[in-house]
Amino acid sequence: MPRLPAGKLKQKDNMLKNRKSYEPKSNDAEAGQEPLPPAFDNPLPLASPPSEEPLNDPKSPLSEEHSKRLKNMSKAASDQRLLQRTKKQVHKNQMKAARYKQLNDLLNVTKQEDVSSSDSDYEPDSDGNGSDSNGDSSDFFDRNIPVIKITESDVANLPEPQINELVTPYVPSPPKSTRPLKDLQHLSPSQKHQRIKKMNITVAETLGPDYQVIHKTKIPGQLSLHDAASYKVLNHLTDQQYDKLDRKRYPSLSNLKQYLKELLLKLKDQRKNGLAEFIINDINSLKEFPFEDARINFGVDQGTDSVKIVVSYPDLPDSQSAKKLRVYKAFYGTETRTELEPYIDEINFAAKFLQHALIETKHGFKRCICFFIADCKCGDVVLGIQGGSSLRPCINCTIPSSEWGTLQTIPADAFRTVEDIQKAGLIIEKAEQESSLSVTKMRSLKQQQNSVNATPLITEIPLNRFVPDAVHINMAAVNSIIQYCKKRPELATILLAEIENINVQYNPGRSEYNGPNCSKVLKHFVDNPNLDGYGIDLLRSYSKVEAYAVARDLTEEEINGLDQAIKDFFALIAEKYPDLPGKKTKLHMLKHHVMPFVREHKSWGKFSAQALEASHKVKNLSDKRIQGATPLVKV
């Protein structure tokens, strides 16, 4: 045995010592004793000092809602585990059945092949032993073993192979979210709205779009939110007064407030990027706009104490209804150039933007055509023409008003253009800045410049699209006839008596009738053909003109009929009332400027200010005033 080095011997001794130190000590005395039971088999109760109070659990007990939520979460998790186990077991059984079926199919095919091969290939030889048709049959069985031929009847008597057909148990689909839904009393109004919205989507997908989730208080026959809001505003109802109304007829106050809030946000959103974007957004909000040309009316008119800037689309159905009018802006004030300028600048910019190229909308590309509607006074202010009793007050031509009575046709060079007004306005403004001319010389200079006193505020809408408004022309014609007859009471006794009988009133603070009252006067004399007298024939003649001021396109026959009615009206004036027209600008427009507009745009009533005038009444009804004299105190 080879000798070990000293280092290895020392290492071996240390290992032996360590091994001995871990060996258990065993002697006879210890061997006879039974092992002691472990200390934790019979634990002693802990003794608490008598002076100390029992310890309290620092954790507060769970609330009922929290406990319920934990139970729901535990149940959902348990259902999920059960579902996974069931799916796994079903999949296992399906795979096992598939393997059994595959094995049985293989056995059946093999058995059939063996039977068919034995029938076709077995031929007894001269020795009486079977022989394969292909030669040697020793590859399959021993020649000396007898072959038993199995017939079809034997195969038919064999039992069918058993296949395990497992029925998949019904397993409910798991919920999309295991998080329990909040109780209704813990939902905010917005959360309730979102839940109803999701439920409506589910109901529509399941049952169709004809079904929806509604509140149990929403009864058929109840007013819409829009109609209820109109009723509340027009009747100046407070929230307390509205809340006392019958809920079977009127929606709840909370729903109405939410509707008004959403409507205000929608209107603000439509207007935030200017007038042009407002019009595009408005067209996109319509269900349909089946017109290649988007004809747009910009209207400006002063009511009792405010001026409104409105937009309308003459080709839409019922375009002259105040409900179809879009009030873009309104301000307390008058139709002065200084007050109108910022709003007219918006109209001018919007017209330029909309007309410079095709505009893409939800309904396709549209070519925008812009019109401007205003009375003669506002039109003069916007275009920078003196108007009124000036030498040439017409916005369409430069013919002096002194020649209107005998004027038959207007020469081509007498029609105004925006460019001509622009040049003349620059001359006037330059002279005013220099302040070198006296008042008399400045008046003479304006007459030389065809009664122009400033540059036009609108340059992007041509003058042939400044509408000769039917409403204001009708009012001017009827009021002119009545005022003319009142100056001859001895001749017009029948006419004046009938007007008193039909009970029409002047506009407050003016000696003129408004549009509806003028129509009422005309209708009275048309419906009573037996009445005859001074001025009555003139009213009946004009009623034929008014009949064509309808809000639709006119046929060529109707356009020719309007032309003839206007000619007959002025022929009757020339024959029996030669001094009637005087210097009335609106009658001059009726005689010379209405027909060119109608022949070009195929309508007169579509472009009238009827809806704009009706908006003044709506605004006046909506005004709720408190004591004070300035617009700032109006609510």
* pLDDT for residue 126: 46
Can you spell out the DSSP letters for 417-451? -HHHHHHHHHHHHHHHHHT-S-HHHHHHHHHHTTT
How do residues 482-531 score in pLDDT, each as one tens digit?
Answer: 999 999 989 889 999 999 888 888 877 778 888 888 999 999 999 999 98
Q: Closest Cα partner for 598 from 633, 632, 550, 631?
A: 550
What does DSSP say about strands 123-124 and 306-312: parallel, antiparallel, or unpaired? unpaired
Name residue 331's beta-bridge partners. 307
Q: Are 301 and 308 in contact (CB under 8 A)?
A: yes
97 vs 33 pLDDT, higher one: 97
Q: Name every residue whose Cβ is closer than 8 Å to that of residue 94 and which is 6 or more positions away in sequence.
A: 166, 168
Q: How far apart are CA 47 and CA 69, in angstroms?
A: 39
Distance CA 566, CA 474 (A): 12
pLDDT of residue 112: 62
Most confident of 142-151, 207-216, 226-235, 548-557: 548-557
In DSSP terms, which residues pair with 301 in a beta bridge?
A: 308
What are the residues whose beta carbons fall under 8 Å from the beta carbon of 614, sequence distance 6 or more? 321, 322, 325
What's the token pair of residue 486?
A: 């009142």
Residue 139's pLDDT is what?
A: 47
pLDDT of residue 232: 85
Question: Cα 322–327–331 angle (5° rounding)?
Answer: 125
The predicted structure's pLDDT at residue 312: 93
Q: What is the pLDDT of residues 394-428, one digit of tens each?
A: 999 999 998 988 888 999 999 999 999 999 999 99
Q: What is the pLDDT of residue 318?
A: 87
| Burial zone of 85 (CB within 10 Å; 0-12 exposed, 13-18 middle, 19+ buried) | exposed
Could you give the 3-state DSSP secondary structure of residue 343?
helix
pLDDT tens-digit series, residues 250-306: 888 888 888 888 888 877 777 777 899 999 999 998 989 999 999 999 999 888 788
Question: b/e string for 360-369 if b means 16 or more Cβ within 10 A?
Answer: ebeeeebebb
Q: Could you give the 3-state DSSP secondary structure of residue 365?
A: strand
The pLDDT score that the predictor gives to residue 471 is: 92
Q: So where are the chain's domains?
A: 92-167, 205-272, 288-464, 470-608
- Is residue 374 helix, strand or coil? coil
On whether the CB atoms of residues 386 and 313 are closer than 8 A, the answer is no
pLDDT in tens, 216-235: 545 567 888 888 888 887 77
Supply the pLDDT for residue 28: 47
Q: What is the pLDDT of residues 304-346, one digit of tens each?
A: 788 999 999 999 988 888 888 888 888 888 889 999 999 999 9
Average predicted confidence (pLDDT) for the chain: 79
In the predicted model, is pLDDT for residue 144 greater than 50?
A: yes
More confident residue, 51 or 264: 264
- What whole-number distance in Å separates Cα of residue 622 and Cα of residue 66? 52
Percentage helix, strand, coil, to 5, in the chain? 50, 10, 40
The answer to whether the beta carbons of residues 298 and 347 sit under 8 Å apart is: yes
- What pLDDT shows up at residue 196? 80
DSSP state, residue 409: -
* Cβ proximity of 507 and 489 under 8 Å: no
Instruction: Report residue 463's pLDDT band, with 50, 70 and 90 as the boundaries.
Output: very high
CB distance 596 to 410 below 8 Å: no
Evaluated on CA atoms 334, 335, 339, 342, the torsion sign reads positive
Fill in the amino acid letter for 126: S
42 vs 110, residue with greater confidence: 110
